[in-house]
């Protein structure tokens, strides 16, 4: 079995893992990223980037490359109810240059981060083998084992970082409990339609006769629709067949009903998202830190996942550097990350749950109150606070450039 010894072993080459690996390598440490996918030809989720993430990607120097590959600059997040705009969160009220949402294939973001990582001599990206075991010295995590047979390898490190997503294997291997919060009444069926001249130019919660839908332009030339259905109701719905499902969706988005009928031919043309929030009970133990979706998971409303994943990486960077310099990978040292970051994450979970209730729930009273509340909110200072919170999250999160040597 081949063996590699580094300062940091980052499991997962998604937005959280690659951002952190890049920062650690630019700080002069030896880093290995272990990614289970063989290549960048894999499935990606999450296309809407918030200004907070854009500003950090810019500081990392990868934003110009992402932008050049193409994407859509969207100015508003709107709640549209039977043709009436009830809420219009306008990003142009934010300070330039990042006063917009950016709709971009996540692959573009990953490719640019990956390219930047490959430019670091002290960083190896090991692709095509999953982490399936942790190595322990007593209770301290000291490395991982990846792959099997001839491809098996061992990576030993001062600290292992779990950045392996919402169903984190590393979290399970470390026996860290995960608290799933059933804060949402809906799951979401995602699909794309060719949009051509029917682009929406913003991100919308769209309400009409059927169940609400989330809509946004998806680069290039498509419209992404997330149709909401009762939480855990998919099996019952699917059992009624594709034509029934299409009817329901067409009722929900009448302007695109023709495209729904023409373009969707089977249930396989759609992806079900089990919507839940949740957090790992602890984000650090001796020799191990959890970041991104592995530490906390979010619902789709307000497009927060990538933003938070990148901010986690930026926030974990100085904590990990301090731990390495002090030769102290204890829970107490690494737990500093959780102490700094958990309050911001809990705020996001609470806000998303309120947003989902206000925008997606149905019922006579809620339907009657929604326009009144939306109008009232638009004229209070809360509106600006909500915009700031969705767009930037914790504004204190900044890259510690004094730690960067390359
Ligand atoms: C349908 C859907 C739509 C979404 N839309 C948005 C959106 O519009 N905007 C937004 O901000 N967020 C969105 N999100 C959330 C967003 O995709 C995630 O929050 C974000 O990708 C989390 O980044 P991460 O790096 O923590 O994890 P991930 O992106 O999940 O990356 C984890 C990586 O770890 C790898 N991995 C997993 N297990 C192992 C293992 N055992 N060994 C080695 N590698 C492993 C995976 O292959 C993957 O590359 C959406 C999510 C879904 C499911």
7 and 98 share one domain: yes
Element (H, E) at 181: strand 178-181
- Asked whether residue 217 falls in the same domain as residue 338, the answer is no
From the CB of residue 328, how many other CB atoms can be counted at a distance below 10 Å? 14
pLDDT in tens, 319-355: 999 999 999 999 999 999 999 999 999 999 998 888 8
Q: Over range 13-22, report the average pLDDT.
A: 98
40, 71, 301, 225: CA torsion to nearest 10 = -90
- Other Cβ atoms less than 10 A from the Cβ of 180: the count is 11
Integer Cα distance of 173 and 262 in angstroms: 45
Pocket of ligand 1 (CB under 6 A): 11-17, 34-37, 45-48, 130-131, 163-165, 169, 190, 273, 292-294, 300, 303-307, 309
Among 35, 160, 165, 278, say which to mutate for ligand 1: greatest number of ligand atoms within 8 Å of CB: 165
**Residue nearest to ligand 1 atom 6, measured at CA:** 46
pLDDT of 359: 76
Distance from Cα 334 to the centre of ligand 1, integer Å:
23
Contact (Cβ atoms closer than 8 angstroms) between residue 317 and residue 337: no
Whether residues 265 and 346 share a domain: the answer is: no
Preceding amide of 377 cis, omega within 30: no
**Domain end point (choices 273, 290, 308):** 273
Average pLDDT of the residues of the chain:
93
Mean pLDDT of 87-115: 95
Same structural domain, 295 and 175: yes
Q: Which atom of ligand 1 is nearest to the CA of 294?
A: 26
Q: How far apart are CA 130 and CA 289, in angstroms?
A: 18
Q: Among 273, 305, 338, which residue terminates a domain?
A: 273
Mean pLDDT over 107-115 rounds to 97
Running DSSP on this structure, what letter comes out for residue 254? G
Distance CA 18, CA 24 (A): 10
Domain co-membership, 159 together with 253:
no
Structure tokens at 289: 């830190």
Distance from Cα 74 to the centre of ligand 1, integer Å = 22
Atom 21, ligand 1: residue with shortest CA distance: 306
Domain CATH number, residue 54: 3.50.50.60
Kindly give the distance from the C-alpha atom of residue 293 to the centroid of ligand 1, in angstroms, as a whole number.
Answer: 7
The sheet that has 48-49: what strands, in order across it?
48-49, 101-103, 72-74
pLDDT score at 331: 98
pLDDT in tens, 236-253: 999 999 999 999 999 999
pLDDT at 406 (0 to 100) = 66
**383 confidence band (pLDDT: 50, 70, 90):** confident
Distance in Å, CA 166 to ligand 1 centroid: 7
Ligand 1 centroid–CA 45 distance in Å is 6
Residues 6+ apart with CB under 8 A from 226: 188, 189, 190, 213, 214, 215, 273, 300
Mean pLDDT, residues 378-389 taken together: 83
| The ligand 1 atom nearest the CA atom of 169 | 41
* Same domain flag for 136 and 165: yes
Looking at the fold, whether 244 and 300 belong to one and the same domain comes out as no
Residue 331 sits at the vertex; the CA angle it makes with 20 and 136, to the nearest 5 degrees, is 85
pLDDT higher at 327 or 152: 327
Looking at the fold, whether 293 and 358 belong to one and the same domain comes out as: yes
Same domain, 215 and 232: yes
The CA 197 to ligand 1 mean position distance, Å, reads: 31
Mention every residue, 6+ apart, whose C-beta is less than 8 A from residue 279.
178, 179, 181, 295, 296, 297, 342, 345, 346, 349
Better-scored residue on pLDDT, 239 or 366: 239
d(CA 310, CA 19): 6
User: Cα of 17 to ligand 1 centre, how many Å?
Assistant: 10
Report DSSP state, residue 100.
S
- Provide the 10 A C-beta neighbour count for residue 120: 18
pLDDT at 183 over 90: no
Q: How many domains does the chain have?
A: 2
Same structural domain, 175 and 297:
yes
Q: What is the domain-level CATH number for residue 260?
A: 3.30.9.10
Burial of 67 (C-beta count, 10 Å sphere; 0-12/13-18/19+): middle
Q: Tell which of 240, 273, 306 closes a domain.
A: 273
How many helices and strands, by DSSP H and E, does the chain display?
Answer: 13, 21
Share of the chain above pLDDT 90, in %: 77
My answer on whether 33 and 131 are in the same domain is yes
Show the domain range for 211. Answer: 186-273
Q: What would the pLDDT profile of 200-238 be if each residue is shown by its tens digit? A: 999 999 999 889 999 999 999 999 999 999 999 999 999
Are residues 144 and 60 located together in one domain of the fold? yes
| Rounded Cα–Cα distance for residues 329 and 297 (Å) | 25
The residue to mutate among 306, 312, 313, 390, having the most atoms of ligand 1 within 8 angstroms of its beta carbon, is 306
Provide the pLDDT for residue 299.
Answer: 86
């Amino acid at each position: 079995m081949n063996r590699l010894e580094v300062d940091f072993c980052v499991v997962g080459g998604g937005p959280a893992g690659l951002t952190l690996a890049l920062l650690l390598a630019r700080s002069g440490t030896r880093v290995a990223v272990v990614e289970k996918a063989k290549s960048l030809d894999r499935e990606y989720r999450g296309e809407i980037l918030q200004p907070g993430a854009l500003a950090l990607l810019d500081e990392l120097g990868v934003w110009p490359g992402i932008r050049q590959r193409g994407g859509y600059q969207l100015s508003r997040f709107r709640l549209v109810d039977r043709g009436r705009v009830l809420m219009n969160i306008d990003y142009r009220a934010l300070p330039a240059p990042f006063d917009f949402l950016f709709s971009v294939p996540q692959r573009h973001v990953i490719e640019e981060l990956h390219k930047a990582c490959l430019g670091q001599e002290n960083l190896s990206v090991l692709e095509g083998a999953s982490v399936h075991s942790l190595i322990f010295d007593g209770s301290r995590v000291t490395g991982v084992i990846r792959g099997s047979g001839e491809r098996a390898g061992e990576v030993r490190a001062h600290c292992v970082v779990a950045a392996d997503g919402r169903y984190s294997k590393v979290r399970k291997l470390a026996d860290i409990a995960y608290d799933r919060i059933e804060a949402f009444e809906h799951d979401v069926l995602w699909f794309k339609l060719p949009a051509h001249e029917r682009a929406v130019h913003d991100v919308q919660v769209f309400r009409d006769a059927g169940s609400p839908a989330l809509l946004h332009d998806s680069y290039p030339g498509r419209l992404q629709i997330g149709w909401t259905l009762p939480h855990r109701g998919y099996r019952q719905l699917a059992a009624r067949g594709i034509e029934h499902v299409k009817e329901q969706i067409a009722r929900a988005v009448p302007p695109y009903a023709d495209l729904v009928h023409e373009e969707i031919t089977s249930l396989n043309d759609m992806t079900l998202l089990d919507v839940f929030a949740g957090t790992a009970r602890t984000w650090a133990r001796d020799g191990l830190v959890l970041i991104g979706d592995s530490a906390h998971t979010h619902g789709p409303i307000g497009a927060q996942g990538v933003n938070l994943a990148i901010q986690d990486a930026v926030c974990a960077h100085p904590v990990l550097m301090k731990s390495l310099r002090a030769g102290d990978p204890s829970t107490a040292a690494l737990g500093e990350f959780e102490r700094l970051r958990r309050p911001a994450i809990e705020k996001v979970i609470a806000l998303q749950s309120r947003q989902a209730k206000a925008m997606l729930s149905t019922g006579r009273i809620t339907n009657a109150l929604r326009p009144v509340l939306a109008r009232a909110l638009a004229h209070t200072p809360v509106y600006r606070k909500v915009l700031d919170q969705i767009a930037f999250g914790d504004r204190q999160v900044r890259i510690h450039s004094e730690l960067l040597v390359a």
